[in-house]
Amino acid sequence: MNSQKVVLITGAGRGIGAATARLFAAKNYAVCINYKTNVDAASALAKEITAKGGRCITVQADVACESDVIRLFETTDKQLGPLSVLVNNAGILRPQSRLEDMTAERVNSMLVNNVTSYFICSREAVKRMSTRHGGRGGAIVNVSSGAARSGSPNEYIDYAASKGAIDTLTKGLALKVAAEGIRVNCARPGFIYTDMHADGGDAKRVERLEPIIPLQRGGTANEVAEAIYWLASDKSSFSTGNYLDVTGGI
Ligand code: NAP
């Protein structure tokens, strides 16, 4: 029987998700690389992991769509084996905007992509991991944001509120499944150099804000990946329902 651990990482073709996929593969996990649209980035990452002797698959799925999520988990079951770790990482950002200019469509889209997706992916993971359902336990790591604490005034309070919901989901779910062999924790990145800031209409946002970050720089996707890996690994075996800030001191 193959005893290799399996991790499913949502939004893993680029940015923090891709760095996390590289790290788990280097630690001998079989990796499911989920992406939504950027097939080239996901394929290039899979090629890179495979060339180093790692085992991975790429699966296109919109994690905001329930039927896509079900297919994503079933594909992982069939092609890689029983799930050990879920990293809820996929997220979106919309251009900086005052509340007065936010439509209901924008807010709903933010909540479906950043919150509903984490709920339904966690549901599928719990069905597979929980000892209550015959599973072997596991770990869920939610990627939230320092924005959950700051509220992101004058930038995007809809995004910040979506991440606040993830902090609450982390706490509630962690306590609900703690006795069922599953740990649930949260990594909260601060200003990280990725493409996401271009989606927010401010591609050089991290560089611009470097002077107000106590460590005087933004963070890298690799630094966030290390925090996610630690929260998923047995090294954090007595931690659940916790938040690990990766924010350079903010
Ligand atoms: P990114 O570079 O913009 O990458 C986002 C990834 O999410 C992409 O792979 C994208 O897929 C995927 N994605 C988006 N919506 C999806 C959906 N509905 N279904 C499946 N995949 C979807 O973002 P990042 O900076 O790495 O951010 C990763 C996570 O960290 C997010 O949750 C974000 O909120 C959080 N975070 C980031 C920062 C930061 O400063 N960068 C700070 C705090 C928190 P495609 O490649 O197919 O488009």
Q: What's the gap in Å between 128 CA and the centre of ligand 1? A: 25
pLDDT tens, 163-197?
999 999 999 999 999 999 999 999 999 999 999 99
In the numeric block, which tokens belong to residue 16?
């923090």
pLDDT tens, 135-157?
999 999 999 999 999 999 989 99
Residue type, 135: G
pLDDT in the model for residue 1? 53
Bridge partners of residue 184, in order along the sequence:
140
* Region 62-77 average pLDDT: 98
Instruction: Give the atom of ligand 1 at the shortest distance from the alpha carbon of 189.
Output: 43
What's the rounded Cα separation, in Å, for the pair 88 and 104? 25
Instruction: Give the atom of ligand 1 at the shortest distance from the alpha carbon of 195.
Output: 2
Instruction: Please determine, for residue 8, whether its predicted confidence score (pLDDT) is greater than 70.
Output: yes
* Region 191-211 average pLDDT: 96
Which of 24-29's residues contact partners 24+ apart within 8 Å by CB, and which partners? 24/85, 24/229, 24/232, 25/49, 25/52, 25/54, 25/55, 25/56, 26/52, 26/54, 27/229, 27/233, 28/4, 28/54, 29/4, 29/5, 29/84, 29/85
What is the rounded average pLDDT for all residues in the chain?
97
What's the rounded Cα separation, in Å, for the pair 199 and 132? 41
Q: Where are the alpha helices (DSSP H) in 32-93?
A: 39-51, 66-80
**In order of start, what are the domains of the chain with their CATH numbers?**
6-189+220-239 (3.40.50.720)
Provide the whole-model pTM: 0.98
Does 145 sit in the ligand 1 pocket, CB within 6 Å?
A: yes
pLDDT in the model for residue 197? 96
pLDDT in the model for residue 3? 86
Instruction: Please determine, for residue 118, whether its predicted confidence score (pLDDT) is greater than 70.
Output: yes
**Residue 29 annotated among the catalytic residues of the structure:** no
pLDDT tens, 79-116?
999 999 999 999 999 999 999 999 999 999 999 999 99
pLDDT in the model for residue 10? 99
Catalytic residue chosen out of the listed positions 159, 193, 229, 243: 159
3-class DSSP string for 24-36: HHHCCCEEEEEEC
